[in-house]
Each structure stands twice: as structure tokens, then as C-alpha cells.
A and B are shown apart, each in its own frame.
Chain A
């Protein structure tokens, strides 16, 4: 057992650098981001003009919506809980099953998904070209006729601007020891020592690996089998992208299938399913307190 002690000790040494790092803005083009912002809330990007990006990713409340599965065109229901658009530029892959390698790929797939926007990107480009004011705005940026690359690029630039800076916990990491409560600090220690940190780490506190949902037998409220849908490998069944925990207080319901709405329940599910251990109620409360300190400020572009 001494070995494991050494092992844990070596962990602590490795953690001389904190396993979570504060967010920093990533460079983006302001003009393109502003146009992207406009398009983000415009249903012109969906086939029947009823759904915009902002239908599922509400910019005023955490960058996602508060329903289990979102509705696309013609009232069709999706099969996964909509993740937040905030800080999504930092994710290593996009979608719960990681089928998009970056934001541009993600935007393209949503637009053409029959359950979501159900559109063809070339049709949107045609519609945009006929619009009253978009052609001028695009021309001001690109000096040429609207193309699909431009449409995708302005949306991506907008998403790159959606970094939620200065969460109390980030301020704490930067040295403001009073930025979070004692309870939250205890929650952070538990978060590290109980094993949550093994998957939820880095800038985005998650969003940089896949992992299997649950150590128990398959337990899934969604039609999707996760990563398996992409790789078709048996061991990838119920494997999903580990989501970011930033702004988690605002992004209920939780899990890929949106099964719970309270943060406390989410932590309980995770301790049972992922950590595979029992945790005292007071520890759960402390972790919830820590998670609440991860809510950052609304990005500059939305203020």
C-alpha cells in the first residue's frame, strides 16, 4: 500500500500546477463575430424559417436551453440534450459523440441535420443572397458574393467570442483567495481527491476526452449509443464526450440525456456512475458549491 501512497504523492507533486487553468479570450474578428451574432438568432438558417441557432442555445441563459431534448424544424425532437455554446471553441471535438472535429464542422452538420435545421447549406446561401441587408454586410467583410464558407466562418467567429471570463473560481486561481467561499474551496479539494478531476480538467474543466457513461451496466435514456455511432466499435457504446463544467449552474438539465435538473442530483449520479463510490451529503454539497463558482461573466459581445 506504500506504493499507492507514493503514487498519490507523485500526483500531488504533478499538481503543483493546478489541473484547471483560468479562461482567457481567444482571438477573433470583431466584424465577423458581430455578423455571426446576428445570424445566430435569425431563423433564416432553417428550412422553414422557424428555428435559429439561438432556439436551442439561448444566449441569455447559459448558452443552452432548459429542456431535455430540443426541438428542430416541424416540432421534431432531437435525441440529445443541447450542450452550451459558451466556451465551445475550447472543446476538443464537437457534439456528444464527437462527430464534428471543429466548430465549422459542427455548424455545417446542424444546418443539414433533418431533425435540426433540415436545410441544405447552398439553399441558405441562396436565401441570404436574396435577403435585403445580408448581402451588403457580407460584402463589407469579404468583398465578394456570399459563399457557404463565409456563412460558416462568421458563425464560428461568433462562437469563438463566447468565452465566459472571470468566473469566481478563475479569479481564485489567479490569486484572489476570497473570490470563492471556504465551502467551495473544500469542494475543489474533494473534486480533485475523489477523482472527478481525472476527466474534468484543463481550461474547460472537461471537453477534452471521451469516456464511457457509467461503470455499471448500460443505463441510457437516449437513443444515441454515443461514440459508437461514429466508430461502430463495440467498446465505444455509451461513450460520450466528457462535457465542460463551466457555467454548469446555468446549463440544466444535465447529462447527455438531460435526465436530472438539479446540480445536486447530477453530482450524485456522477459519484455513483463514474466515481463508483458513496459520498457524504456534506461533500456533495461542497462540490455543488464549487461547481457554482464556475459561472463566468457574460461574454463582452453579448453585453
Chain B
């Protein structure tokens, strides 16, 4: 045996386990952080999508108020809010986070919204005219008794009033009757202003009511609501996946963590046994007949056994940290010591006889072998085993 080789692979297994565990912990912290942020973004985004849905509902409610006074400022405010939410949603920060197709979907939302917006404009204009006509017809009806018209014409007027009421109340009726009555007014109106106004109002009323029907029908076919629903659904799907993924990741972490723990326990058991053995060996060394010295790589004494103490008369505290030359004597030639140094630095074992000095100055003859302790190709220290020759002789 030329040198003691220590640092076998088995010991590193512990470090592998620990660093693996640390890596998993770091990964988990990063992952928790990221999914927390994702969740925050998701909540904000989803809230705004829901907001859109509410705004859409508000618009729908206004569309139900046909032929009634409508506060157009309110609609304008809803429009502005809708647009600002759309702008908020059309944000790169979110777009690529949830779904790669989200950008296309937001574009669809824009298209659907623009369709809706122009339909609302049509609705507003179409609503104002019949509503005004209702005002006019009400006033006219109030004053019908004062008008100088024949009783036939009066009946015609009242007939038209009644039919228009029915239209306003959405009672299904045959427009051709009304149209025929209105045409009668046209035929008798000549240059009379009263008849002309009445004719214009009723004529336009029929036209506008048709237009209003078309607008509301077109509205039913618009995609805005479905587009919002669709995005909302996709987002919810994404969030479900997100929860699923988190659950899986945590499960994997727990499984790996347990496995790691088991391996660490197995490792500990082995090391514990090793330590037990080491205690036995240490006892053997302490009680050995040989003088044993262990130094570091600079040959500073780290350990001496009891025999050293008993033979050379030093206490352990006195020698630990001292150079091994503490016990060298001038009774040996310089060459011997140089020879020792060279051999050891080359990583070789040195064997021979030395004369050293005890603490009281008396010489001691010893058979010595010095073995380098090598860890990962580097000298980590030296083991001195000395045997007092006088005693054996």
C-alpha cells in the first residue's frame, strides 16, 4: 500500500440527494410564484370579460325600451366603457399567457362589437322618430274633437290611431290594413297641412317599425354575446387546466420528496453503521502498541494516539497544530529528512528508521512508516506509524 485513498463515491450520494432536494425546493418556489401571478392575471382578465358580458346585457336592456324615451348619454357611457375594457383586454401581457388564439378571439370581439355599435346607432335614430310620432299622435288625438273634419274621416283617423297603438304594443296585426288607411289619407290630403303631417307621421311610422323589427332581428343574430361567452368559456377551461397542472406538480413534488426522504434514511443508516465501525477503529488505534500520528497536508499534527502521549511525554493539546518536526532530532542527517519530504510530496510511502526526541529531550529509536492520505488525487494529509525499536529488542 503506497497511499491511503479516501473519498469513495458512496459518500457523494448524500450530496446528490440533498442538492436534488434543494433544486426541487427552488423549482417549487419559482413555480408557486409563477402560478400565483398567472392566477392574478387570470382573475383580472376574467373579471373584465364578465364586465363585458354585463355591459352587453345593459345594451340589450336598452334595446328592449323601443318606442320609449332613452337617455342616450347612458348608452354613450356604456359604449366608452366597453371600448376601454376591450382596449384593456387587447394587451400583450395577457394575450399570450392564456391561449395562443386569444388575439384572434379579441379581434373577433372587436368585429362583433363594431357591428353592435353601428346597430345601436341605427336603433337610436330609428327609435327617436316613432317616439316623436307617438307624441304627435297623442296631441292630435287630444284635439280631434276640435278639428273640422267629416265623421268618416274622423273614423279613419281613430282607426289609424288604434292600429298604431297595436303596433307599439307589439300585438301582431296586418300592416296592409294600416297601409291602406294611410294611403286613403294620402289621397285626401291635397294641400292641407294637417293631413300632410298626419300622412308623413303614419307613413314613416310603418316604415320605421319595419326597420326597428329588422334591427332587432339583426341584433339577435349578432355574435357579440356568443363571442364573449366563448372567450369566457375558453378562459375557464384554461383555469381548470391550470389547477390540474398545479395539482400534478404538487403531487410529483410530494412523491419525489418522499422518495428522497427514504433514500436519505437508508443513507443515514449506512453512515451510522460506518460511524459505529469508526468508533471501534478509533479505540483500536488509541490503544495500539504503535505510535500513530495524523497530520494535514502541511504536516501539521491533527491527531496523536495515547501511545504517542505515553511514549513521548507530550499532552495531546501540546502537539495538535504543531509541525511534525516538533519531535525531529539533530541525530539524523539532513539528507534523511529531505528524502522523506521528496518521497511524500511524490505521493509515495516512506519507510525507515528514525531517531526522534521525547519532550524531556531524550532520544527515541523508532521504525517509521509514513503514508500519504489521498483524496481525489490530492494529498489531504499523512499517517505516521511508528514503533519503538528498543522495546522490541
Contact = CB atoms under 8 A, between A and B. Distances in A.
Contact of B128 (A10, A211, A277): A211
B132 A274 contact: yes
A219 to B, nearest CB: 13
A210 B197 CA distance: 22
Contacts of B197: 276-278
A195 interface: yes
B317 interface: no
Interface in B65-117: 68-69, 71-73, 75-76, 79
Interface residues on B, range: 35 or more
Given A92-B76, A211-B129, A212-B129, A277 B136 contact: yes
A303 interface: no
A10 B68 CA distance: 9
Contact of A276 (B125, B136, B138, B161): B136
A196 to B, nearest CB: 9
A74 interface: no
Contact of A215 (B69, B125, B129, B168): B129
A274 B138 CA distance: 16
Residue from A5, A11, A14, A195 having most chain B Cβ neighbours under 10 A: A195
B145 interface: no
A203 B194 CA distance: 34
B72 to A, nearest CB: 4
Interface in B131-176: 131-139, 141, 161, 165, 168-169
A198 interface: yes
Interface string A183-204: 0000000000111011101110
Contacts of B161: 1
B135 A210 contact: no
A235 B207 CA distance: 11
A201 B72 contact: yes
A26 B159 CA distance: 51
A3 B163 CA distance: 12
B73 A276 contact: no
A241 to B, nearest CB: 10
B165 A197 contact: no
A210 B121 CA distance: 7
Contact of A209 (B68, B128, B165, B211): B128
Contact of A3 (B79, B132, B165, B194): B165
A11 B193 CA distance: 28
Interface residues of A, number: 38
A7 interface: yes
B200 interface: yes
A231 B72 contact: no
A209 B125 contact: yes
B200 A235 contact: no
A172 B75 CA distance: 25
B237 to A, nearest CB: 34
Nearest to B199: A276
Given A11-B68, A215-B201, A203 B132 contact: no
A201 B73 CA distance: 8
B204 A215 contact: yes
A284 B65 CA distance: 30
B71 A19 contact: yes
A276 B199 CA distance: 10
B143 to A, nearest CB: 11
A21 B211 contact: no
B167 to A, nearest CB: 11
B72 A215 contact: no
A4 B132 contact: no
A92 B83 CA distance: 13
B124 interface: yes
B118 interface: yes
Nearest to B121: A210
A208 B125 contact: no
A211 B138 CA distance: 22
B72 A4 contact: no
Contacts of A197: 69
A195 B200 CA distance: 16
Contact of B72 (A10, A98, A202): A202
Interface in A1-58: 1, 3-5, 7-8, 10-11, 14-15, 19, 21
A275 B137 CA distance: 11
A117 interface: no
Nearest to B141: A1
Contacts of B165: 1, 3-4
A166 B285 CA distance: 106
Interface of A: 1, 3-5, 7-8, 10-11, 14-15, 19, 21, 92, 98, 193-195, 197-199, 201-203, 208-212, 215-216, 231, 235, 239, 274-278
8 contacts: A193-B135, A201-B73, A203-B73, A208-B72, A209-B72, A209-B125, A210-B121, A278-B194
Given A202-B76, A215-B200, 19 more contacts: A1-B141, A10-B68, A21-B73, A92-B79, A195-B131, A195-B132, A198-B69, A198-B131, A201-B72, A202-B71, A209-B124, A211-B124, A216-B200, A235-B122, A235-B211, A276-B133, A276-B197, A277-B139, A278-B197
| 10 pairs of A and B residues whose beta carbons are closest in the complex | A202-B73, A195-B135, A208-B72, A195-B132, A209-B124, A92-B76, A211-B125, A198-B128, A276-B197, A215-B200
